Structure 1
């Protein structure tokens, strides 16, 4: 499905993440010992969900012939009383959508591929590779 590689660039926690021809810098903020040169790991987590949210809703709206106009999703995360991660999405579109269309978009967003995987969890394995 997907494949990425991360390589340490040296200073503190700055790393380059590559997927095919694309690259992103990951880092921690200065308050955590990083350089603040890129997205922190949980920012990347929310970024993947926001990208899937925007792409899925844009595809759905286009299929239905709805004009979203400029679409924006604002995501935030926090921990609940028992420490479980809670992600909240706020969706915005400049297009003139009806209440019924918005209700359908809110139903669709609950079933985006990344939303479903994040809710179900994933099996994660690790192994040692050659140097």
Structure 2
């Protein structure tokens, strides 16, 4: 089961994240009241999508026996809060044009891509208060 947690103290926006065995730090830039000690939440969201995209495409290419010299995934959130979208630009070298086109198709079906496109229910509960 995938698991993560976040802990923030009483004064700063700096947030310690635990994702499995890994500890990360998130923060907001100074312009939003943080100290820019780590990526902001939307940066982390894009990083997760980018990692999933790169890993999925690498696994697919490896299974097909396709050599990938470079694979870069550039991501940006564009639009307004009411109409946001993610622009994903793949920079690939190695596969021929047909292979590159196939990898672009596969990028549309990575696990994180599908989760974001379909949406996901979020249930919020309060834990029991400790003394």
Same topology, TM > 0.5: yes
* More deviation, 29-38/10-19: 10-19
- Mapped partners of 1:20, 1:55: distance in 2: 18
- Mapped partners of 1:29, 1:19: distance in 2: 22
Q: Secondary structure at the match of 2:73?
A: strand
Aligned pairs for 1:83-98 within 5 A = 83-95=82-94, 97-98=95-96
Q: Secondary structure at the match of 1:124?
A: coil
* Unpaired runs of at least 5, structure 1: none
How does the TM-score come out when normalised to structure 1?
0.92
Q: Is the 8 A contact 2:71 2:93 kept in 1?
A: yes
The Cα RMSD (Å) is 1.5
* Unpaired runs of at least 5, structure 2: none
- Mapped partners of 2:93, 2:99: distance in 1: 13
- Mapped partners of 2:68, 2:10: distance in 1: 43
How does the TM-score come out when normalised to structure 2?
0.92
- Mapped partners of 2:83, 2:60: distance in 1: 31
Tell me by how many angstroms 1:93 deviates.
Answer: 2.4
Q: Is the 8 A contact 2:14 2:37 kept in 1?
A: yes
Q: Is the 8 A contact 2:4 2:18 kept in 1?
A: yes
The corresponding residue for 1:102 is 100
* More deviation, 22-31/5-14: 5-14
Q: Is the 8 A contact 1:8 1:15 kept in 2?
A: yes
Tell me by how many angstroms 1:12 deviates.
Answer: 1.5
- Mapped partners of 2:97, 2:38: distance in 1: 38
